[in-house]
Amino acid sequence: MKIGRYFIAVLLIIGVLITFGERGLIDNFRKKEQLMMIKRQNHQLTLENISLKKNIMLLREDLSYLEMVARNELGMVKAGDLVYRNAQ
């Protein structure tokens, strides 16, 4: 009888460790969720890198794109352009 009780107690402890312990079932589930989140972030960063590389290539090679960026983002004007300012 005592051997059976000890055996059941040991099985219960092993079951608790397998379920709740480090590298247990619950920990494994959390790690899979973290991995999926990291993969999504990695995908977003990859897409952003592709977009930035395209932007760099346009800035290096396309003078009309470079002029558009200079005008829109930096407020630069070309010689002979008329500049209108709002009086506020």
Q: What is the pLDDT of residues 31-84, one digit of tens each?
A: 999 999 999 999 999 999 999 999 999 999 999 999 889 888 888 888 877 777
| The two structure tokens encoding residue 61 | 């090679």
Please indicate, yes or no, if residue 78 is contained in any of the structural domains. Answer: no
Please indicate, yes or no, if residue 83 is contained in any of the structural domains. Answer: no
Boundaries of domain holding 26: 2-72
Number of domains in the chain: 1
Own/partner pairs for 64-72, CB < 8 Å, 24+ apart?
A: none
- Give Rg (Cα) of the chain: 31
Q: Tell me the pTM.
A: 0.60
Please indicate, yes or no, if residue 88 is contained in any of the structural domains. Answer: no
How many Å apart are CA 78 and CA 30, to the nearest integer? 57
Please indicate, yes or no, if residue 80 is contained in any of the structural domains. Answer: no
Please indicate, yes or no, if residue 86 is contained in any of the structural domains. Answer: no
Alpha helices in 1-88 (DSSP H): 2-20, 25-61, 63-74
User: At a CB cut-off of 8 Å and minimum separation 6, what does 68 contact?
Assistant: none
